[in-house]
Amino acid sequence: MNYISTRSNDYSCKSAYAIKKGLAADGGLYIPTKFPLLTLDEISAMSADNYNMRAFNIMRRFLTDFSDAEIKESIDKAYNKQNFETESIAPVYKLNNQVYFLELWHGCSSAFKDVALQILPHLLTLSIKKTGEDKTVVVLVATSGDTGKAALEGFKNVDKTKVIVFFPANGVSEIQRLQMVTQEGDNVSVGSIVGNFDDAQSAVKGIFSDESIKKELSEKGFLLSSANSINWGRLLPQIVYYFSAYCDLLLNEEIILGENVNFVVPTGNFGNILAGYYAKVMGLPIKTLICASNKNNVLADFINTGMYDINRRFYETSSPSMDILISSNLERLLYDITGGDYTRVKDWMHDLKMRGRYEVPDITKQRIKEVLWGGFCNEADTLMTIKDTFEAYGYIMDTHTAVAKNVYDQYLFKTGDSTKSIILSTANPFKFGESVMTALKGELEKDVGQFQLLEDLSVITETKVPTQLLALKNKDIRFGQVLDKKDMKEFIYNSL
Ligand SMILES: *Cc1c(COP(=O)(O)O)cnc(C)c1O
């Protein structure tokens, strides 16, 4: 299978090269030239498999330049008892006869990004070898909170790699911050940046497209790469759990083979939901992908109006991993939905960069609406949804998942669609304990310590605090530095 750029249909390469590079040389994103199709019988057969076998079945269709043994080994190194607290890796929880939660947060950073970032380092190191590279890879990450920790954990002490993470000083929860600044490992660095996530992301993108930095690093034996969800090696493992969830519902006789389901996805950079779109393209019976935004509702507006416009206020919300105005992976959807019209995609991305907006024609808008339904949820409703769902079902959600649940409720109300729906649950509620506690209790007392709060939440919800979050209490801070954007370059050089 070959991969090309979304902006030129050029730079054709194998998966190893695409994974190594992250971004294509023209600034576009790598996409497979063709998607494999699975028959219903193949999907049905997969339901007898465990998660690792399902992952192997899906991933080998895309990684044709990897041997089966390499793929299997990468999968087993990623998805095991050490890294995930449940053998099913991504279990499905049944809320009622129509709604399910796909719990993606049982990994070591307590958020869904572990599913991709535990396997990416293995795919990346293999990719480097396969492309004849002897440089050390420097993985540069801009994070709105969850990617950073998951990348640090995934790459920690992996041979021939270094990982440098930048997070917005004011855009992450206290637990997220502690998770990153206490990170262990010999090949890791973390800096917090003055500004919001988009500031951090655009600065990192700037470094990626700066030839002089690349040259200087190259001379020192380093190669820049990305672990953000624009990397194909991150997107691919996410396709797996859509199939896996469907297989679980089949296995439990919640649905019959071929029955359509909806997926509801709390969305930020558009990586998670794009993987769902690809699963649909590959033949998974999905009716609608419900795209849930928080108060930063650029995507919801885009789906409903065809106008993508970032000239608006940026809000810091209680679901910080979705506080994004530029959802990078949308570019891949646009490419596919326009039948590979890369000239258009390139123009839109140019407009976005120069004017902060672009508008797609009616036909494109129509196509998007055939597969996506967009909605958003404000801050008060996010907290209310956590409380209501807990009171009605005893099920506790984090803020991101609550945004999705709320948007699903809006969808149900507006469309009356009774199709069984799977809400992607993207973080452990304890990771956003302060907001979850506020949702349940109203105003919190001032100066309640983070860890007291987790224990209180544990008592109220009768659930256990994840051990890796409790352990943060006694860890030393290794990376306390707050940086200005202009100092990032120097920070990188100093980290190597
Ligand atoms: C990253 C993240 C999201 C958003 O996922 P995208 O792939 O960026 O759309 C949602 N919820 C949580 C908890 C996350 O960490």
Instruction: Give the mean pLDDT per block of 10 residues along the chain (496 residues).
Output: 93 94 90 97 98 98 98 97 95 98 96 96 93 91 86 92 92 87 96 86 86 92 86 97 98 98 97 98 98 98 98 92 92 98 97 97 98 98 98 97 98 98 97 94 82 94 92 94 91 92
Which residue range(s) make up the domain with 409? 1-110+230-468
Beta bridge partners of 166: 142, 191
* CB-CB neighbours of 405 under 10 Å: 25
Residue 167 C-alpha to ligand 1 middle, in angstroms? 15
Is 437 contained in some domain?
A: yes
Q: Using CA atoms, how far apart are residues 299 and 266, in angstroms rounded to an integer?
A: 11
For a mutational test of ligand 1's pocket, the pick from 104, 109, 120, 146, i.e. the residue with the most ligand atoms closer than 8 A to its C-beta, is: 146
Annotated catalytic residue within 20, 113, 149, 280: 113
pLDDT for 226: 80
CATH number for the domain including 464? 3.40.50.1100
pLDDT for 266: 98
Residue 356 C-alpha to ligand 1 middle, in angstroms? 22
The amino acid occupying position 152 is: L
For a mutational test of ligand 1's pocket, the pick from 29, 113, 143, i.e. the residue with the most ligand atoms closer than 8 A to its C-beta, is: 113
Query: Considering its fold, how many domains does the chain have in total?
Result: 1
Q: Using CA atoms, how far apart are residues 300 and 324, in angstroms rounded to an integer?
A: 12
Cα atoms in the 13 Å half-sphere on the side-chain side of 331: 30
pLDDT for 244: 98
Is 261 contained in some domain?
A: yes
Supply the residue whose CA is at minimum distance from atom 2 of ligand 1: 321
* CB-CB neighbours of 385 under 10 Å: 23
Give yes or no: 214 in active site. no
Is 406 contained in some domain?
A: yes
Is 20 contained in some domain?
A: yes
Is 93 contained in some domain?
A: yes
pLDDT for 200: 84
Q: Is 474 helix (H, G, I), strand (E, B) or coil?
A: helix
Query: CB under 8 Å to 400, separation ≥6 — which residues?
Result: 266, 319, 321, 322, 426, 427, 432
pLDDT for 435: 94
Is 492 contained in some domain?
A: no
- pTM for the predicted model, two decimal places: 0.94
Is 125 contained in some domain?
A: no
Is 193 contained in some domain?
A: no
